Amino acid sequence: MEGIILGNRYELIEKIGGGGMAVVYKARCRLLNRYVAVKILRLEFTNDEEFIKRFQVEAQSAASLSHPNIVSIYDVGQQENIHYIVMEFIEGITLKEYIAKKKCLSWRETVNIAEQICSAIEHAHSKNIIHRDIKPHNIMLTSDGIAKVTDFGIARAVSSSTITMVGSTIGSVHYFSPEQARGGYVDEKSDLYSLGITMYEMATGKLPFNGESPVAVALMHLQETPVQPMELNPDIPKGLNDIIMKAITKEQDKRYQTATQMLEDLQRVREEPDGSFVKIESQEDAPTKRISAINDEQLAGKDDNLSKKSSAKNKPKKSKYKERIAMALAIFTGFIIIAVTGVLTYYFMVGEINAKQTAKMPDFTNRNYEKIKDQIKKDFDVVEIRTYREDIAKDFIYQQDPKPGTPYKVNGYTQLKLYISNGPEMVRVPNLTNKTMREAEVEFKNLGFEMEVKEEFSDKIEKGRVTRTDPEAGTMVKAGSIITVYQSKGPEIKKTIVPDLSGMTESEAKNALQEARLKLGNMYPKDKSSRVDRVESQKPEAGEEVDENTAVDIWFSEAEQVKRHEIVETISLKDPQDYGKSIKVRVDVRPSDTNETETVYEEIVTKQSFPLRVRIPIPEDGGTLVTVYFNDKLVNSFWRE
């Protein structure tokens, strides 16, 4: 059936599994552009009303469940003779495959998986739904170790109809309960028995009962006691062993009565693995009692009683008078019985007539289910079927079965299916910051989002990667929404105007360029310029608009050069405790030949950099005034010739 499109929406891609009733396909939802699993009833059963009914019950039961350990149901449909259910697609393997791969799970991993399954069963039971087929084949394990219960194909709401029909017992023989084997009453404790068998297999790698035929295995469930798990695997602690053995007790009233009770013991065994906290109640019908020994007098009394009974047999028969009295009493009693029976029959008939009174089914559509559900449940056996609907507000009923106006028994057991909207399907926007556009595209495609790309500058995010989304990450939005994804263009390159450096010294030109967010490039003539030389020309020219951080080359006028020599002056740090880890150091000089102040050193340094060596220009026939600043505060001033 690969390639078929169901409901103008679900494109079947490949077969991924199957069971006795249905085949499961991996499919792509063309509307939300995501992968789903589609379960299709086998074609040989489409004419069998009983199988179709069970298949529909699966959808109705599972659709009302919402739990992280239960596979979600998205949609239900029928196309010609194809009946199908659309559900969550799980990337993983079955618990049965996982057990076969590992042979035997550790006791802690067994408890972890069992807790998740038990939590799912607890939720289903709270909705009056019994799974009836808990087994490793129906448990999916995701890649991150999450267990999800699937296949509610034989689940039924708890009601008087939970008696399994003899000759058509449903379930997997290695895992089903004794009451399922004998065709008896199935309730919540039956699911817990199957979970116990599953835990037994996880912890030991073996099944407690195995035979040559299904009938042989079923008889073992009814008659035989399994080997204690800790005898097969000594690593199993006493607490876990006791939980498993209590869960698979043959008598229903001696097992865990609720999933909540079992879940509490599973949580406790983590802290007390060898504890004796599991309580197995004993309910003997004839408990042993202590009595005293029979003495000779009691034996003699017994002989006297026997003699009296023997002599009574030899007494003459009753007189005819007494016989007539007995006959009259018997006739009178008979009349009394007939009269009472008649009265009771009358009242039962009246009750039956009342029970058969009919009324027309009310119209519940377009009403908020949460506001009227308590009243509806008093009169009907309600089956909730919830689906996502774009056009209908959350919790409103959009369809019902039986339809409005259909006759129904007033005092009878009437099932009412209500189709309730969950509102539009909401999906959380993922955090895509710093991911590539390809990664964002794949993630959005899997979630069913449409992507609109815009660009923006970013000093932090590499060019080509995602900076943010609108709506922002974590926001819940409708499935299929258009999300704006912002792509980084890298740091924004800003423009600046080149200042006029004419007539400036090297130091002055450098400061002017820094203020304009530019940097000093090459200086000409190379290795011949002096600190007192003046700029004659520059490139780029003054007034040009260039990118920030552009290098500006300058040419000095050699005609203005004066004769100087340089000395090296040592700058020391006194009282280092008065300063932080780093210090801004500036050294200014004022040579006597120009009498103009210029900066020859300006840096931020650490304390470990001291002492500093600074070159000081000295005129041939004069001297230079040197001033030293730490953090823009004058710390020293001296004259050098």
In sequence order, the β-bridge partners of residue 630 are 585, 633
Q: Please, are residues 413 and 381 in contact by the beta-carbon 8 Å criterion?
A: yes
Distance from C-alpha of 78 to C-alpha of 31, rounded to nearest angstrom: 18
295 HSE (CA, 13 A, CB side): 2
190 HSE (CA, 13 A, CB side): 27
Kindly write down the DSSP assignment for every residue of 562-622, as one continuous string: --EEEEEEEE----GGGS-SEEEEEEEEEETTT---EEEEEEEEEGGGPSEEEEEEEETTS
Token pair, residue 575, equals 């009282």
Distance from C-alpha of 151 to C-alpha of 70, rounded to nearest angstrom: 10
Query: Phi and psi for 521 in degrees, rounded to 5?
Result: -95, -130
Q: Please, are residues 434 and 465 in contact by the beta-carbon 8 Å criterion?
A: yes
For the chain, counts of helices (H) and of strands (E)? 14, 32
* Residue 60, CA distances (Å) to 74, 272, 625 in order: 11, 40, 96
Task: With H, G, I as helix, E, B as strand and everything else as coil, classify residue 538.
Answer: strand
- Among 493, 431, 442, 491, residue whose Cα is nearest residue 466: 431
Q: Which of 133, 191, 242, 533 is catalytic?
A: 133
Q: Is 133 a catalytic residue?
A: yes
Q: Give the angle subtended at the CA of 371 by the CAs of 367 and 377, to the nearest 5°.
A: 95
Token pair, residue 159, equals 């009601």
Task: With H, G, I as helix, E, B as strand and everything else as coil, classify residue 41.
Answer: strand
Distance from C-alpha of 466 to C-alpha of 487, rounded to nearest angstrom: 5
Residues carrying an active site annotation: 133
